[in-house]
Amino acid sequence: LPPAGAWETCMTMNESWGYNPQDTHYKSPRQLIHSLCEVASRGGNLLLNVGPKGDGSLPAEQVERLEVVAQWMARNGESIVGTTPGLEPWQFYGPSTRKGNRIYLHTLMRPYETVSVRGVPIRRVAAVRALAHNAELTHTSRCSIIDELLNADPFGELTIAVPESVIDPYATVIAVDITPAA
């Protein structure tokens, strides 16, 4: 469980806090982006350390990774900045964040055809989009028959189709818009 209140994870790109030319064990851009998604989904901030060389410049390996993270953030940053933790672990198998009535699903593993989300108000799902592409995604929902018949606002399972064309090589983000309860 994350700590109560504000918290931060401090992490290096390799194994050293300062510049160390012998330390070439860099985390991949994917690892850095996944860490960012995981920390945000638990309500924390990620402090990613850089170790400048003696002349103040950053090593090429660090610049390359920062550029990839910056490009990913340009497409998906709204799912990280200014968000709160999203769904419970039983609802979605991956990190999720929330901003207002929008839930962001961070798929860290390559989605196969569909992604499932449980325990959502299925009749109030207004839109489902691949965030980076702003592409509408088709989705279906289901709940128990008794809830379907007797409950005006049933909670159930949402199944989202994820076409190959919207897959991000690092982490695909799906935005689910929920209309507020009346």
- 94-107 pLDDT, tens per residue? 999 999 999 999 99
Please give the span between the terminal C-alpha atoms of the chain, in angstroms, as a whole number: 32
Predicted confidence at residue 140, as pLDDT, reads 97
**Neighbour tally for 177: CB within 10 Å:** 14
Predicted confidence at residue 110, as pLDDT, reads 82
The pTM is what? Answer: 0.94
Q: Are 157 and 143 in contact (CB under 8 A)?
A: yes
**Neighbour tally for 125: CB within 10 Å:** 19
Task: State which residues of the chain have pLDDT below 50.
Answer: none
Write down the residue that tokens 């690892």 correspond to: 31
**Neighbour tally for 59: CB within 10 Å:** 20
- Residue 49 in tokens: 């350390």
Predicted confidence at residue 112, as pLDDT, reads 78
With a pLDDT cut of 90, the percent of the chain lying above it is: 91
- Residue 124 in tokens: 């109030």
Predicted confidence at residue 68, as pLDDT, reads 98
